[in-house]
């Protein structure tokens, strides 16, 4: 039902016309972005689950993927990573049924996750319609925070807030998609807000206007950006976005920041917005869908 063609968050495979349900499948893993091994495991699990929630599905099972430098780091640390991941998967009601590990020079960790959804309730990134409102369910800035943290320059309170954001599940936001009649959704991760919005616009053949003053950020992110902390992945996102976005350089840079385990970006009919905001505390209306094909206007 959903494959590679629209750069969607997960693949969707119909189980059968009689059953009426579909499998939703995704995989995601990455190197450490925080020092605490258990937090890294928690973030990796929440990040992988997010792709399932973005499709309006419920996670069912997961397979762990671990790369570990057996001669470079103690296995006790690996155990902490796995514990963090298992804790979040358990909180999501998702069963870890197996996995695979390899000896690798750099530690990597993540999951392949399988979920279930009623076939007629799949939410993709290709249904946005001019006039829809854009809602974002988590603040941005985790890429900038991680870069400052690696340099030893991130205030502890800023890091703590970013970790809380990255470990927070999108389960409530995903379940509310059906109830509010969401037309399209995606999660904001490595390609940043602008990159994932662009995928939605291309898949839906529409444009967008973004109210930059309404976009939420982790407290302290703007200051860290002004001090020069900005990831290489975010720079690539920024370069990719420039040709299609009209706006100031600072706004572009912040909106292009590569995220880990970010929120859902949802296109909703105007009369459903209040209901969705009530169901998903901490969500913000950040713009609207327009008829300008592929173009993004920053207001």
Check which CATH number belongs to the domain holding 144 and give it.
3.90.650.10
Mean pLDDT of the 195-206 span: 95
For residues 140 and 32, state if they share a domain. no
Show which of 99, 121, 143 is a domain's final residue.
121
The CATH number for 110's domain is 3.30.1330.10
Q: What is the pTM of this model?
A: 0.94
Lowest mean pLDDT among 7-21, 110-124, 191-205, 234-248: 7-21
For residues 88 and 210, state if they share a domain. no
| Whether the predicted pLDDT of 135 surpasses 80 | yes
Tell me the C-alpha distance between 265 and 289, whole Å: 12
For residues 54 and 151, state if they share a domain. no
* pLDDT grade for 4, boundaries at 50, 70 and 90: confident
Show which of 68, 101, 121 is a domain's final residue.
121
CA dihedral 272, 274, 275, 278 (to 10 degrees): 160
For residues 109 and 234, state if they share a domain. no
For residues 101 and 185, state if they share a domain. no
45 occurs within a structural domain: yes
Structural domain total, the chain: 2
126 occurs within a structural domain: no
- Across the beta sheet with 184-187, the strand order is 184-187, 264-268, 133-136, 284-290, 207-210, 296-298, 245-246
For residues 114 and 142, state if they share a domain. no
Looking at residue 276, its pLDDT comes to: 97
6 occurs within a structural domain: no
For residues 272 and 141, state if they share a domain. yes
Residue 222 exposed, middle or buried by CB count within 10 Å (0-12, 13-18, 19+): middle
Domain that holds residue 165: 133-298
62 occurs within a structural domain: yes
> Tens digit of pLDDT for each residue in 72-93?
999 999 999 999 999 999 999 9
* pLDDT grade for 250, boundaries at 50, 70 and 90: confident
| Whether the predicted pLDDT of 17 surpasses 80 | no
Show which of 121, 141, 164 is a domain's final residue.
121
Mean pLDDT of the 265-283 span: 97
Looking at residue 123, its pLDDT comes to: 95
Comparing 162 with 4, the larger pLDDT belongs to 162
* pLDDT grade for 287, boundaries at 50, 70 and 90: very high
Picking from 45, 54, 55, 48, the residue whose alpha carbon sits closest to that of residue 264 is 54
Helical spans, DSSP H, in 132-227: 142-150, 156-167, 171-179, 192-204, 221-226
For residues 56 and 146, state if they share a domain. no
For residues 155 and 247, state if they share a domain. yes
For residues 268 and 171, state if they share a domain. yes
Looking at residue 9, its pLDDT comes to: 84
Looking at residue 249, its pLDDT comes to: 85
């Amino acid at each position: 039902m959903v494959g590679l063609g629209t750069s969607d968050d997960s693949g969707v495979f119909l189980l059968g016309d009689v059953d009426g349900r579909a499998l939703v499948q995704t995989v995601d893993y990455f190197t450490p972005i925080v020092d605490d091994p258990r937090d890294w495991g928690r973030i990796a699990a929440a990040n992988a689950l997010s792709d399932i929630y973005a499709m309006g599905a419920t996670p069912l099972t997961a397979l762990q993927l671990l790369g570990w430098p057996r001669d470079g780091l103690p296995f006790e640390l690996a155990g902490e990573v796995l514990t963090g991941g298992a804790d979040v998967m358990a909180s999501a009601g998702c069963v870890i049924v197996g996995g695979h590990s390899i000896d690798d020079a750099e530690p990597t960790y993540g999951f392949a996750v399988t979920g279930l959804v009623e076939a007629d309730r799949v939410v993709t990134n290709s249904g946005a319609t001019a006039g829809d409102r854009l809602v974002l369910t988590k603040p941005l800035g985790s890429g900038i925070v991680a870069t400052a943290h690696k340099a030893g320059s991130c205030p502890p309170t800023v890091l703590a807030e970013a970790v809380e954001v990255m470990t927070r599940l999108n389960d409530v936001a995903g379940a509310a998609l059906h109830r509010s009649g969401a037309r399209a959704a995606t999660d904001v991760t490595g390609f940043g807000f602008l990159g994932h919005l662009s995928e939605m616009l291309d898949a839906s053949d529409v444009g967008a206007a973004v109210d930059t003053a309404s976009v939420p950020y982790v407290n302290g992110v703007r200051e860290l950006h002004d001090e020069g902390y900005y990831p290489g992945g975010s720079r690539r996102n920024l370069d990719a976005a420039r040709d299609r976005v009209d706006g100031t350089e600072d706004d572009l840079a912040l909106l292009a920041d590569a995220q880990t385990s970010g929120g859902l970006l949802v296109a909703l009919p105007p009369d459903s917005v209040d209901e969705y905001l009530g169901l998903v505390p901490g969500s913000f209306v950040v713009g609207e869908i327009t008829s300008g094909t592929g173009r993004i206007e920053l207001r």
